[in-house]
Every structure is written in structure tokens, then in C-alpha cells.
Chain A
Amino acid sequence: MSNNWEMVIGLEVHAQLKTSSKLFSSSPNKFGSEPNENVNFIDSGMPGMLPVMNFGCIEMAIKTGYALNFKINKHSVFERKNYFYPDLPQGYQISQFEFPILSEGYINIESGDNQKKIRIERAHLEQDAGKSIHDIDPKYSFIDLNRVGTPLLEIVSYPDLSSADEVINYMSSLRQLLMYIDVCDGNMQEGSLRADVNLSVRKKGQELGTRCEIKNLNSFKFIKQAIEYEFQRQINIIDDGGEIKQNTMLFDTSTGETRAMRSKEFSHDYRYFPDPDLLPVNLTQEQIDKIKPLVGELPQDKLNKYLDNYSLDKDIAKIIIAEKQNANLFEKMISESTVKPKFIAAWLVGDIFAFIKENNLEVNSLNDKTKDITDLLRLISDDVISNKAGKEILPKVLNGEGKPSELVKELGLEQVSDSEELEKIIDEALVGEEENILKFQGGSDRVLGYFVGKCLKATKGKGNPKLINKILLERLKK
């Protein structure tokens, strides 16, 4: 009976910072290079090499501080977290422990129809480790140190999350914010954003249970699966009279199950101590203040602007703000034309996004087509062409096949909006329809549709439907 049970979840999210160079060395911070290509003697842990702090990482941490409502600490300290593993050549990870750069933040997430505040305990800077590859050789592991020293910001939430959906919302809000402030590329497949999930269960209203940590989840789908599996696993153990042991779990993506990591003879003891190679980070208020303007507009700011200034529907506004590049494209179109933002937004999330999806494009790739797009939208909103004709021309415009006005002429899609011409056509269409006209005058509105259709057909679909409607009504009411 999982009805009486609830889950309590805290998240540790590792975000790779998109600096050019590494946290303590000037090697490239780049994914997908040849093995050990981006490694120097600092990264490979050679004796006598000294780490030198990359200020770009501090700047990104401060930006994150502003975006996630953190207290930005002027004083922070790098410490050594000691453990042995082949892809950690120094024998320790440089991280922040007692004095992190950011503390006590929060973000608001959606939970059902409500907003929920998720408190964040801390965020600290640390180095990533290298990569071990176990499946090339049966007896050996192969080590690639390219990732060693990549700057990570570890963001640790309080256990304020209580369902898989909340975790997904929290994680995607974080991802959205980090991408907006341009500190993380958000690419979960490449491991730029990954989560450790701390989960415990309890009967509703009771004390916190013992938690297990599921390591290194790098997709929303796996996070959801792992949480659901682990929730049930813990409930089953307790229902069978057992006890949850605090454990580090791995999620097996092929079976959808969690399992304890090979049990260690001794519990971990990282023996943290301040890294003697690195002096404390002491920031001035000026250094911190200077970064504030770089944060820019956040998703919530944009949402408010779209609703208040552009009167967009909330659902449409949300689709546009979901990614910064959507919002940039939208705002570029608004700044370049006088077409109503609401009209632009409807076409953007409709036919334009459909085109992007169909052709597997990046939203950014349309940035140089915005003028053509808004020219086309102008023609539609001015009734020069019909909505239907607009849909026909749009892909050609997006493919760069021509200017909208030329395409309209070329394809003969210009709408007939000349009243005199339409009146003539309508009068002809009404010849011999005395019976139907009487029906309409007798109150049968359906006949109107029939007449509109007949007139549109007579214009080969190019008649302006609004105008036809208007003239027809005038004629029929006589």
C-alpha cells in the first residue's frame, strides 16, 4: 500500500560551467576531443604543479548566485576531498566544503496548479574527475583525463521535493535558469547537467526515514524511473519488516532498477582539509556588484513582460520562454516589425516551431530570417493573403526560396480584397438561389456557410473570406 507513504527528496545537481578553460588550469574545457588531448601537467597530477584559479568560474558562480536567490559569500575556501580512483590522478578532488561560495538560495517551481518554493542549501565550485572506460578490454580499464579539472558547480537542495514530477520540474527550472544566464549548456546527454537523488520514505506526517543516494542520473526519463523504482523498493523493505540501510545506489538504465554499489568494507571518509596550494577566495563587494548586470532577464521576468505588455496567452508565453533562444527569436521579430506580438507568437509556436521540428533545426538558425518572417506575417495580418496561403508560403520563406511578396505573386496567392470585384462575383453566385435566400431570411444561418463556400470557390479560393462574409450579409438582408 503505497498510499500512506510519501517520499522525501533532496537533489545534488552538478552543472558543468561553460568556461573556455578549466577550473585550475588553462587546458581547454571542451567535450568530444581525442582522448587526453585537453590535459596538461596540472590536470594529470604531476608533482610540483600548482593550480591557478580561473576567475571566469567565480563570475559564473556569482551569476548563478543572483539567479537562484543565493547569499553570495565574499569568503570561500577550497579543500581537498581525498579518495583513490584511477581517473582522479591527484588522489583528491579540489572542492569547497565548510565555506562554499553560495549559500541559502531558493527557486520557485510548479507543483500541480501551485508554486512551491524549493530551498537550496548551498552551491560550491569543484573539479570534475576523468573518465574510465571499462568496455574496450576485458582485463584493463582505459583512462581519458580530458574531463579532469572541468569546472562544476554543485547545487545542493534541501529535502523539499516530494514527487518525481516535482524533481523533474525543479531540475528543468534549474536547467532553464542556468542556460538563461549562460553558465551551462544544459546538455544532459553529454553530462553537462547531472543529478544525484537522495530519497527516503516515511508514513505521512512522520519523522524522516533513512535515505539512499542514487548517483549520476543524466536524463529526465532516468530520474523519474529511478525515483519510482527506489520509492517502491524502500517501501517493500519496510513492509517486509526490514530496515533501510544508508547506501549509495546506481541506476541500471537497461533494467530500470536501482542497486547498491559494490559494498565498501569501510564507509567513505574523505578527510577534507584546506588545500595548501590555494589561498582562500576573498571577493570585494565591487567584484560581486559588477557581475549583477550580466545576469540579464530571467524566465520569470520575460513571462511577466509577455503577459503584461504583449497580452500573450500564458500557455503560449511559457512555450516561448522555455528556452532563451526562443525568446530571443521572438523579441527580435517584435523589434523589427509592427505586427502584433500576439500574432507573431501564435505563428511562432505553431507553424514556425513545427517547421523547425520537422527539419531538425536549431531555433537560432532562423535568426537571420526574422525580417522575411515578419514581412510574411504582415501580409497575412493585412489580409493581403489568406491564412491558408500564409501556411503554404511559410516553409518556402524559411527555406530561403524567396521574399514573401515575390512568392505571393509567383504562386498567385494574392487575396482578392477588391470590394467591387467581389460584389460582382457574389451577385453572380446568388443568381437562381431565391429559395435559399428565403431560407436565410427565414432564420436558417446554415445557408450563409453554403453561400460563402460557393463564393470562395468562384474566386478559386483567393477571395478574402472576411470581406465575402460582410458583402454577403449586406446582400442577403436586403
Chain B
Amino acid sequence: MSDIDIKRISYLAKLKLPSEKEEFYSNSLKDIIKWVDNLKKVDTSKIEPLHNVTEKTVSIRNDVVSKSNSVDDVLSNAPERAQNFFKVPKVVE
């Protein structure tokens, strides 16, 4: 099992991790991965990868417009709004 880069994982998940907790979470994750790694004991070399457990194909709809929600519906959970925009702390990249 490869080592866990806990700083990188918390960065990608946008989670702030106090440094004294890093070791604790690192070990917890290792335990989880070790447990999941049990699956590697099964020989799958002759088996096609499975992307979905059903053999069904994606359900489709025709290209038709219907409006189901208003601007106010959509913005109703926004912590802040400005006119009809979501207003968020400045993020520029």
C-alpha cells in the first residue's frame, strides 16, 4: 500500500485539518484502505471491468425544454444573493 499524503487529500477535499489531527486521520484512512485492499486477493485478470451492476443502458429523454424551477427557488438556499446572482467570497483563478 502506498503512503498517504494527508495534506494533499485534505487540500483536494477542501477540508481544513489541524496538524495535530493529521496522524490520526492518516492512520484511519490507512486502515480503511487496508480493509478495501482485501479485494485485491481475488484474481480478476480474466474478468472485464464492471462499470455498473445492472446491464441496463442509460435512460434518455428527448431534447425538449421544460422549466421547473424559478430563479427564486434556485436562490432560496443561497447564503447570500445579489439581485439574481449567488454572492460568494471572491475566488479568482
A124-148, CB under 8 A of B: which get 1 and which 0? 0000000011101111111111000
| Surface stretch bound by A, among B18-26, B28-36, B37-45, B84-92 | B84-92
- With both chains docked as a complex, state the minimum distance between the C-beta of A212 and any C-beta of chain B, in angstroms: 16
Residues of B within 8 A of A78 (CB): 58
Number of interface residues of A (CB under 8 A): 55
Assuming the contacts A141-B91, A142-B85, asked whether A279 and B65 have C-beta atoms less than 8 A apart, the reply is no
Contact between chains at B68 and A26 (CB < 8 Å): yes
Which of A27, A262, A281 is packed against the most chain B CB atoms within 10 Å?
Answer: A27
Residues of B within 8 A of A232 (CB): none
**Roughly how many angstroms separate A134 CA and B92 CA in the complex, as a whole number?**
7
Cα-based distance from A35 to B71 in the complex (angstroms): 8
Q: Does B51 contact A (CB under 8 A)?
A: yes
A39 touches B74 (CB 8 A): yes
Q: Are B85 and A280 in contact (CB under 8 A)?
A: no
Contact residues, B47-93 vs A (CB, 8 A): 51-52, 54, 56-69, 71, 73-75, 77, 80, 82-93
**Interface centre among B8, B74, B91, by most A CB within 10 Å?**
B74
**A279–B56 touching, CB < 8 Å:** yes
B46 beta carbon closer than 8 Å to chain A:
no
Pair B87/A140 contact, Cβ less than 8 Å: yes
| Bound CA span A358–B34, Å | 72
Other-chain residue from B56, B62, B68, B84 in contact with A56 (beta carbon distance below 8 A):
B62
Other-chain contact of A35, B52, B54, B64, B85 (Cβ < 8 Å):
B85
Across-interface contacts of B54 in A (CB, < 8 A)? 279
* Shortest beta-carbon contacts, A-B, top 5: A56-B63, A142-B85, A143-B86, A282-B57, A35-B84
- Selected A-B contacts with CB under 8 Å, 7 pairs: A20-B64, A36-B75, A52-B60, A54-B63, A55-B62, A143-B85, A143-B87
Which A residues contact B (CB, under 8 angstroms)? Answer: 19-21, 26-29, 34-41, 44, 46, 52-58, 77-78, 82, 84-86, 132-134, 136-145, 261-262, 265-266, 269, 271, 274, 278-282
B interface with A by C-beta (< 8 Å): 8, 11-12, 14, 51-52, 54, 56-69, 71, 73-75, 77, 80, 82-93
